[in-house]
Amino acid sequence: MSRTLIPNTVRSYKGLGDVISNARLAGLIDWDLIEDRTRNLQSRAHFADPKEVVEAAYQSHYLDRWKGQENRVECWVEKDALAGVFSRVCRKWDVPLFPCRGYVSQSEMWSAAMRLQHYEHNGQTAVIIHFGDHDPSGIDMTRDIQDRMATFGCNVSVSRLALNMDQVEQYNPPPNPAKATDARFQAYLETYGEKSWELDALDPATLSALVEAAVQRYRDPAAWQKVAKQEIEERALLRASSDHWDDVASFLHDTVPEDIADHKHTLRNDPRYQDDLAAKKK
């Protein structure tokens, strides 16, 4: 079966965008299948009562699974568009995910170095597993992360998991012409030739498997299970508190009424309530 390759150009990109937009409007593509991570509504969370707060705490209570581990792993991905592909497996293994959006800015690199140095000071080895395109800049980004981390005094291990030439040979993704205008083109040309390949071309299951394999290589299962056991016990306590919230609230009112009165007084001085209180006095 023959395969038609679409050139990787701005015109092709815009054309594809129009096709997808029309298909969504026509009901051929589900709206939830595509998300825009660059534009998000920001608002305060609301709860109907304290029971819902405790329920939310139960749902969101997770302990640091890498606490007590010899290593501390982060996953860095060149493209923000691939964050959705990596987010599920990274959440599963409690691995922080950082979409780099190309070369990492100096401020973000410094922040990352300070964060990873903190792990080092706690006796852990910081590890970055890096995913990028196989093109002049994509290949160089792995080197850039390692070098700039060293500049900031961070002794981190940077492991490039994809896209590498052995994976190109194994999975045979469609090639693109390497950008001759890239400042790193000549060095890339001498090593790999005129073709380049995008990370997006690999199957999501393959990318997830690479993350899974790296996690298994760097984690201690016994220490992991110890933290998991503690997490289960604490979440069970929160769940029981939510299920029996009326009894919990009654117990607190009966045993620590002075504390509750003190907290009410503190809340009256909270800036969030000052406007309403001033309006009532008028």
The alpha carbon of 233 is separated from its chain's Cα centroid by a whole number of angstroms, namely: 26
Q: What is the pLDDT of residue 201?
A: 93
Rounded distance, CA 192 to CA 181, Å? 16
Residue 34 in any domain: the answer is: no
pLDDT at 24 over 90: no
Q: What is the pLDDT of residue 161?
A: 97
Ordered DSSP codes for 162-219: ES-HHHHHHH-PPPEE--TTSTTHHHHHHHH-SEEB-GGGS-HHHHHHHHHHHHHHH-
Question: Which residues lie below 8 Å from residue 182, measured CB to CB, with a gap of 6+?
Answer: 135, 136, 137, 188
User: Which of 72, 67, 65, 64 minimizes the C-alpha distance to 120?
Assistant: 72
Q: What is the pLDDT of residue 281?
A: 58
Low-confidence winner among 47-56, 177-186, 256-265 (lowest mean pLDDT)? 256-265
What is the extent of the structural domain holding 76?
Answer: 70-219
3-class state of residue 73 by DSSP: strand
pLDDT in tens, 128-186: 999 999 999 999 999 999 999 999 999 999 999 999 999 999 999 999 999 999 999 99
Question: Which residues lie below 8 Å from residue 41, measured CB to CB, with a gap of 6+?
Answer: none
Residue 109 in any domain: the answer is: yes
pTM for the model: 0.80
Rounded distance, CA 223 to CA 229, Å? 10
Beta-strand ranges (E) seen in the chain are 71-77, 97-99, 125-131, 157-162, 176-177, 195-196
pLDDT at 4 over 70: no
pLDDT at 282 over 70: no
We report the CATH number of the domain holding residue 98 as 3.40.1360.10
Number of domains in the chain: 1
Residue 61 in any domain: the answer is: no
How much is the average pLDDT of 215-235? Answer: 96
How much is the average pLDDT of 189-215? Answer: 96
Cis peptide leading into 163, omega within 30 of 0? yes
Q: What is the pLDDT of residue 253?
A: 85
